[in-house]
Chain A
Amino acid sequence: MTAEIIVVTSGKGGVGKTTTSASLATGLAMAGKKVAVIDFDVGLRNLDLIMGCERRVVYDFVNVVHGEATLKQALIKDKRYENLYVLAASQTRDKDALTQEGVEKVLEELGKEGFDYVVCDSPAGIEKGAHLAMYFADHAVVVVNPEVSSVRDSDRILGLLSSKTRRAERGDGAIKQHLLLTRYNPARVAVGEMLSVKDVEEILGINVVGVIPESENVLAASNAGVPVILDDNSHAGQAYSDTVARILGEERAMRFLDAPKKGFFQRVFGG
């Protein structure tokens, strides 16, 4: 048995990869799938914080690759969903701690353990860690902000996904690419200060799988160590739920693309 491998990547840092990885993994688990989410950012472990399990990390990904711990020992079971597990990144400074063979072995073992999905949270950049995170992927979620440097980097990542992955090398059929637009501010788009969904789709030549509105709830969720998808009241959480459903093949209309209507006082006094 093999697990479906989904890489969450972007090129540029700070666009919402870890936030997305945490919500995607949690959303898949809510849909009843057995899911592992792996932090590939060796030296800069952060997924554990966003998932809220930072104090329960004993062994990490590199320990498993080096045979210092078993996979079972290193997988941290989520407190909210029993079919969701986190594999933390190592805090070592050794950039070569991960090897392609080592990563492959861990992914194969997860498949044998009956995992349906493995979500790989890529580090920023296009170096070794990012390469390893995407190499074995079946799906890629490319996280992009409506901002020039992020869009340009995404295009570069889309190019790498279609050439520097195992599927591309073997000619096994292309990786399924999903573009996820995050930190979207409809009010700024409406006045022409921010690239629109359509602009980004046109430039990159690929349609979005979801649009996550910029939201103060994302920071609140990370403060609390709760993936934002679990915040049903927030637009960001709802947009992530829609996105996960779409990745699972469901059809859902896009929401939160328009600026909220202003009330009377706002119209009169601005703001």
Chain B
Amino acid sequence: MGILDFLKRKPEPTAAVAKERLRIIVAQERSTRGAPDYLPLLRNELLEVIKKYVHVDLEAININVERDSGHEILELSVALPEHAEAKPG
């Protein structure tokens, strides 16, 4: 730290932000790794259907493929917003 440092604008310590973002995205991508290619499309179409009834966005839908010996489980969860109101027909 030099006495002339105040003349230079200090860059933000951003490594922590990078690490946190990577931690989340890497975990998410690992969970769908090797899953069928139609998964993102399936997710979008499900969203369209659900949207007919409740307001949710893409992040509310979580799809997971789990492999057990011999069979695969497609796990789907939808987080409904609080006080979800049914859309009028």
Contact = CB atoms under 8 A, between A and B. Distances in A.
Interface of A: 147-148, 151-152, 155-156, 159, 163, 189, 191-196, 199, 202-204, 266-271
B8 to A, nearest CB: 7
Given A191-B13, A193-B11, A199-B15, A270 B26 contact: no
Interface residues of B, number: 23
A159 B22 contact: no
A253 to B, nearest CB: 24
B71 interface: no
Contacts, number: 61
Contacts of B3: 268-270
B29 A155 contact: yes
B23 to A, nearest CB: 6
B69 to A, nearest CB: 15
Interface string B29-41: 1100110000000
A192 B16 contact: yes
A159 B26 contact: no
B8 A270 contact: yes
Contacts of A148: 18, 21-22
A195 B19 contact: yes
A151 B23 CA distance: 10
B2 A267 contact: yes
Interface string B3-18: 1110010011111101
A193 B26 contact: no
11 contacts: A151-B22, A151-B26, A152-B26, A191-B13, A193-B15, A194-B15, A199-B19, A268-B2, A269-B4, A270-B4, A270-B5
B25 interface: yes
A148 B11 CA distance: 17
